[in-house]
Amino acid sequence: MNNEITTKTITITKDKLIRDIAKNGRLYDIDTIRMIYNELENNIRQYLSMTTNEQNIKIKLFEGMTIQGEYAPEQTKVNNLTGKQMTISSRIKPKVNITRTYCQKLNSK
């Protein structure tokens, strides 16, 4: 007898969120909500892309959620499989942070 518990993941898509907001809010139609959502996403991307080696960018997206762009400088690493040295170009590493308070809100009943 196998006592393993299988966990299912339900993915809530952008389209589902837009439809729910339009249906529940009743203030705007789906196209307007979609336009706002896309503009929000574009603004977040624009701000995060402004991250440099001199300044990181932090966006307080919702109460208890932040997205931060951190600059990662160019690095030289060794490939584990081939042993060859390779150069990894500088890049922006996005990170998401959820506060303890937000987690408590999720778990309160």
Q: What angle do CA 59, 64, 66 make, to 5 degrees?
A: 25
How many other β-carbons are positioned within 10 Å of the β-carbon of residue 75?
Answer: 11
From start to end of 1-109, where are the E strands?
57-62, 65-72, 75-78, 85-88, 91-98
pLDDT band at 94 (very low <50, low <70, confident <90, very high): very high
Q: What is the pLDDT of residue 2?
A: 63
- pLDDT computed for residue 1 by the predictor: 55
Percent of the chain with pLDDT over 70: 97
Residue 73 has pLDDT above 90, yes or no: yes
The H or E element spanning position 102 is helix 100-107
d(CA 70, CA 67): 10
Domains defined for the chain, CATH in brackets = 14-107 (4.10.520.10)
Task: Answer whether residue 107 shows pLDDT above 80.
Answer: yes
**For residue 43, is pLDDT > 80?**
yes
Q: How far apart are CA 42 and CA 59, in angstroms?
A: 13
Residue 26 Rama label (left phi>0; alpha psi -120 to 50; beta): left
